[in-house]
């Protein structure tokens, strides 16, 4: 069968042969056993409903074994034989160009070069899934190959509920992931309902089909590192940045450090992912013993090098050793997946990677105790460094939250706040989000690198033009992004699809998108998919990350994220998504995303102007109402540009009255 025929087939009418478990692939860890005997039967019934009864006896044995061995039913047998990669949009079968674009993006999320655990359909973060099982993937791709522009595909946590009649301006796909009743959003609830096959953790761009590999966070991390060094008034040359995590998005850190121009030490316990990042040239060197690492860091400091060093081992050992050796750490953070601390997101010190994986599944209570013990040591070592002058920030991975829950010395004197700020509180919030700058991204659906070069050139030209009349308040953001986009090609950031990201405000996003659509219409480039990270001005309500610099008490509300996805859906998005859980944990955040296909049409031009303006200014207006001064400035400017925008502005109270 051809690739197109396999897509159109969906779930095959004859059972494919079982597939061997490929040990060379980076697999998800075994999930802990959490289901009762009756619930295990329910999980099997739920899995078998995808298949005709004549196959149930054979599949039952197989799915039962998967549930017992891995803690989940992935349906490995149904993994497609074709290469999992984003093909040119013309290679996909179907009636709708928008649907073909979504198929391309789904396959990009599952590309072996992009996905963290591709056989388990997990893109990043240890549990950020595109689908729960391979039957869902097959059905979804079949539906997309059949749908017209008068239908909408409804996705319930990876399950394609079906195609429903709609209209051409409606989203082609609406995605929800993990939208639990609030009282059922504890970490063990995810374990249970995911094991039952009725919910999943979509992370942010994993379940939104909008992940573009580590590049998606390289830019944001570069901006963060640059501004962290600016904050301590120190040049990046010869400066030391210490952090951990080389998995999904955290793998971007060493590359960002190189672009920023500092020395980066990034610890990682997983040898497979460390090797992959080295092969991808996201890290320069791997060190497996602390003595070698210490000597290399001292040498790099003496020579003002720009270099990224991976330490294959636990970051707690790095912080403690650097303290004993009196190595000055200028800035520090952490990007292990602490939103997922008990299932592979964070590994305890003093235990091998293999031993920890066994303990995680077979003795979860001991594993949890070991993780919390490590967090206490981790925090204590960081405290000793900050006493010497290190600037430490929480990188939104729930490090401070989980360390506090473990009893670490991480609280401020008032006993309410954390000792260290979130990077959003200190850097990204006041410097970027309040002014409307966030992670705008696009994918060239032709798969042609020449199209990516053309879009880079268009974006650089537009930003240059906009900078000439930009107010002083946003000159730095404009300059950083112009420098970024002009150097994007030389940094070889493409993994998977031909994609790019830059931080832009509403005006920049609309102008760039409009120029792309014109270039498509004139035949200069092929169709382009627009999107963004959920980690943005308006898409995410996350009290310990994206909205941590909201101080009016509303940071624990989720109105903004819900309004965002509703507003995007009727203003022209090609697909929309809303998720429970993200980079900081199940039950800790609500986040929404979108995708939009530009095809050179007048319809696309109309949609992009309507949707992109709302997508950014929804968040600025909320930040303005919270009395964030940068956002007040930005929303006033937006109202001057668009007469139909009328936003309620806050009045400021004289503190002396209170």
Band (pLDDT 50/70/90 cuts) for residue 582 is: confident
Mean pLDDT of the region 389-401: 90
For β-strands 285-287 and 307-312, DSSP reports them as parallel
Mean confidence (pLDDT) of the chain? 94
Residue 26 falls in which region: left (phi positive, over 0), alpha (psi -120 to 50) or beta: beta
CA angle 484, 485, 489 (to 5 degrees): 100
The percent of residues in the chain predicted with pLDDT above 70, rounded, is 100
Distance CA 43, CA 217 (A): 35
Residue 483 CB contacts under 8 Å (≥ 6 apart), including other chains: none
Question: What's the pLDDT tens digit per position in 464-515?
Answer: 999 998 999 999 889 888 888 887 788 778 888 999 999 999 999 999 999 9
Neighbour tally for 572: CB within 10 Å: 21
In terms of Cβ atoms closer than 10 Å to its own Cβ (0-12, 13-18, 19+), residue 43 is buried
Rg from Cα positions in the chain: 24
pLDDT in tens, 529-543: 999 999 999 999 999
Summarised one tens digit per residue, pLDDT across range 86-130 is: 999 999 999 999 999 999 999 999 999 899 999 999 998 889 999
CB atoms within 10 A of CB 643: 7
Asked whether the predicted pLDDT for residue 73 surpasses 80, the reply is yes
In terms of pLDDT, which residue wins out, 281 or 613? Answer: 613
Strands (E), 209-330: 240-244, 263-268, 285-287, 307-312
Q: What is the pLDDT of residues 518-531, one digit of tens each?
A: 999 999 999 999 99
Convert 315-340 into a string of H (helix), E (strand) and C (coil).
HHHHHHHHHHCCCCCCEECCCCCCCC
Give CA–CA dist 580/203, Å, rounded. Answer: 8
- Tokens representing residue 646 in the block: 């009328």
Nearest to 126 by CA among 343, 358, 356: 343
Distance CA(124)–CA(458), nearest Å, equals 30
- 503 vs 233: CA distance, rounded Å: 23
Interval 123-172: pLDDT, tens: 988 899 999 999 999 999 999 999 999 999 999 999 999 999 999 999 99
State the helix-helix crossing angle for 629-641 and 602-625, rounded to 10 degrees: 140
In terms of Cα–Cα distance, which of 570, 572, 460 is closest to 516? 460
Q: Is 576 left (phi over 0), alpha (psi -120 to 50) or beta?
A: beta
Of 545, 525, 543, 517, the closest CA to residue 533 belongs to 545
DSSP H or E run through 104: helix 97-110
Asked if the model's pLDDT at residue 352 lies above 80, the reply is yes
Q: Which of residues 397 and 196 earns the better pLDDT score?
A: 196
pLDDT for the residue numbered 248: 67
For residue range 199-217, what is the model confidence (pLDDT) as tens digits?
A: 999 999 999 999 998 777 8
Higher pLDDT, 26 or 318: 318
**Which residues face 392 on adjacent strands?**
332
Predicted confidence (pLDDT) at residue 286 exceeds the cutoff of 90: yes
Q: What is the pLDDT of residues 616-631, one digit of tens each?
A: 999 999 999 999 999 9
């Amino acid at each position: 069968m051809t690739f197109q025929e396999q897509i159109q087939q969906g779930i095959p009418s004859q059972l494919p042969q079982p597939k061997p478990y490929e040990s060379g692939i980076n697999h998800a860890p075994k999930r802990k056993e959490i289901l009762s005997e009756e619930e295990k039967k329910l999980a099997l019934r739920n899995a078998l409903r995808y298949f005709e009864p004549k196959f149930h006896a054979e599949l039952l044995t197989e799915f039962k074994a998967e549930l017992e061995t891995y803690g989940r039913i992935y349906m490995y047998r149904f993994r497609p034989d074709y290469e999992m990669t984003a093909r040119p949009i013309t290679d996909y079968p179907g009636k709708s160009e928008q649907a073909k674009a979504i198929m391309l993006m789904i396959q990009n999320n599952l590309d072996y070069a992009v996905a963290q655990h591709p056989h388990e359909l997990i893109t990043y973060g240890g549990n950020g899934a595109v689908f729960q099982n391979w039957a869902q993937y097959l059905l979804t791709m079949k539906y997309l190959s059949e749908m017209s522009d008068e239908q909408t595909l409804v996705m319930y946590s990876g399950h394609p509920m079906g195609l429903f009649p709609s209209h051409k301006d409606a989203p082609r796909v609406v995605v929800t992931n993990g939208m639990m009743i609030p009282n059922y959003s504890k970490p063990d609830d995810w374990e249970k309902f995911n094991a039952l096959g009725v919910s999943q953790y979509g992370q942010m761009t994993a379940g939104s089909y909008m992940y573009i590999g580590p590049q998606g966070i390289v830019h944001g991390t570069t901006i963060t590192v640059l501004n962290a060094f600016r904050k301590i008034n120190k040049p990046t040359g010869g400066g030391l940045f210490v952090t951990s995590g080389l998995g999904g998005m955290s793998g971007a850190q060493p590359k960002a450090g190189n672009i920023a121009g500092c020395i980066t030490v990034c610890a990682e316990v997983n040898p497979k992912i460390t090797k992959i990042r080295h092969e991808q040239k996201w890290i320069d060197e791997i060190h497996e013993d602390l003595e070698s690492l210490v000597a290399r860091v001292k040498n790099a400091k003496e020579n003002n090098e720009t270099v990224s060093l991976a330490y294959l081992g636990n970051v707690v050992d790095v912080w403690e050793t650097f303290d004993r050796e009196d190595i000055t750490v200028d800035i520090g953070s952490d990007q292990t997946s602490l939103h997922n601390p008990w299932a592979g997101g964070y590994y305890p010190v003093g235990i091998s990677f293999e031993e920890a994986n066994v303990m995680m599944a077979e003795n979860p209570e001991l594993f949890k105790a070991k993780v919390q013990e490590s967090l206490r040591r981790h925090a204590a070592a960081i405290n000793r460094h900050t006493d010497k002058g290190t600037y430490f920030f929480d990188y939104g991975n729930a490090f401070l939250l989980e360390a506090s829950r473990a009893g670490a010395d991480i609280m401020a004197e008032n006993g309410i706040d954390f000792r260290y700020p979130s990077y959003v509180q200190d850097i990204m919030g006041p410097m970027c989000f309040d002014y409307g700058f966030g992670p705008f991204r696009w994918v060239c659906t032709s798969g042609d690198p020449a199209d990516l070069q053309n879009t880079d050139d268009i974006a650089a030209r537009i930003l240059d033009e906009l900078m000439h009349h930009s107010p002083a308040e946003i000159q730095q953001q404009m300059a950083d992004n112009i420098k970024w986009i002009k150097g994007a090609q030389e940094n070889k950031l493409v993994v998977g699809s031909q994609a790019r990201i830059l931080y832009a405000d509403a005006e920049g996003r609309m102008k760039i998108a409009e120029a792309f659509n014109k270039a498509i219409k004139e035949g200069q480039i092929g169709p382009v998919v627009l999107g963004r990270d959920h980690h943005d001005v308006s898409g995410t309500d996350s009290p310990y990350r994206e909205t941590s610099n909201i101080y009016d008490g509303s940071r624990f509300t989720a109105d903004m994220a819900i309004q965002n996805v509703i507003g995007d859906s009727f203003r022209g998005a090609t697909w929309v998504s809303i998720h429970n859980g993200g980079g900081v944990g199940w039950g800790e955040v609500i986040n929404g995303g979108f995708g939009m296909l530009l095809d050179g049409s007048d319809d696309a031009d109309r949609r992009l102007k309507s949707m992109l303006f709302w997508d950014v200014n929804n968040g600025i207006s909320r930040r303005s109402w919270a009395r964030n001064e940068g956002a007040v400035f930005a929303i006033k400017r937006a109202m001057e540009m668009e007469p139909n925008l009328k936003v309620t502005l806050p009045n400021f109270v004289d503190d002396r009255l209170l």
